[in-house]
Amino acid sequence: MNPKELLELVARLRLQHNDDENVEAKKCETKLSNDIWESVSAFGNTSGGLILLGLDQGKGFTVPPKFDIDKSIDQFVSGMQPKNGKLTNPPQYDIARVDFEGSQVLVVRIDEVDLTQKPCFITSRGVENGSYKRVADKDIKLSATEIFALQNALVPSPADKEIVPDASVDDLSKETIEKIIENGKISHPKALRGAETLRAQMARLNITDQNGKVRLGGLLAAGNYPQRKNCSLIRMRAQMR
């Protein structure tokens, strides 16, 4: 970020009199505030964002007279260390000194954490009390349900392979199945190698089993109207995903 871009950004913050979902300003006059790690966690668990160190929101987003940018850099970099830092699963970041109204502001760009590493949380508080998300200008603690969803987002659910007793291939959209197979040929070519018939291809992609019976995952992905078929089973299993 260059000085002009920072001026434009701060002008927006001054106009709205607040931070927002993409930017958090921290005074940090003599040392980093403890809540900075909440913001890092929040941005890391959401969509990334900018933290501006050395801007006092209470005084119109101006630089405090005693702001020590070198100390802020040392404390921030130390806190972001993978080992013995403030966070577990810390995000990638970059920092820059940017000239601003006769002083310098430390601009920290926080990247979103990869889904395989979420949630990013404050180590000393533990995952349940130290995981945050960004909502508007606030860092909101993740609920237990949200933490569970992040931790299990890439864990295959065995429920998807269960057979839906009263469903048949007639309940599936031919167009959707064709798209799934075409995508499968591109992204997972080995999975469809040797599967020449439509029935074999559907079984390989777990839309059906080897006997042509429809699996729950297949019905949810390609069903014309999956709610009509075994609604209680679908609801129950879908909640387990």
Question: Count of CB atoms within 10 A of residue 143's CB?
Answer: 12
In 3-state terms the chain splits into helix, strand, coil percentages (rounded to 5) of 45, 20, 35
Residue 141 near residue 45, CB atoms below 8 Å: no
∠ CA 92-97-100, nearest 5°, is: 130
Cα 110 from Cα 5, distance rounded (Å): 17
Query: What is the number of residues in the chain?
Result: 241
- φ/ψ region of 136 (left if φ > 0, alpha if ψ in -120 to 50, else beta) reads left
- Tell me which residues of the chain have a pLDDT lower than 70: 153-157, 226-241
Peptide bond into 119 cis (omega under 30): yes
Q: What is the pLDDT of residue 234?
A: 47
Q: What is the pLDDT of residue 238?
A: 47
Q: What is the pLDDT of residue 154?
A: 66
Q: What is the pLDDT of residue 236?
A: 47
121 membership: H or E segment, kind and range: strand 121-122
Residue 87 near residue 123, CB atoms below 8 Å: yes
Cα 212 from Cα 118, distance rounded (Å): 37
**pLDDT tens string 24-54:** 999 999 899 989 999 999 999 999 999 999 9
Cα 174 from Cα 224, distance rounded (Å): 9
- C-alpha closest to that of 42 among 143, 131, 168: 131
Residue 132 near residue 139, CB atoms below 8 Å: yes
Residue 67 near residue 103, CB atoms below 8 Å: yes
What is the DSSP code (8-state) at residue 138?
E
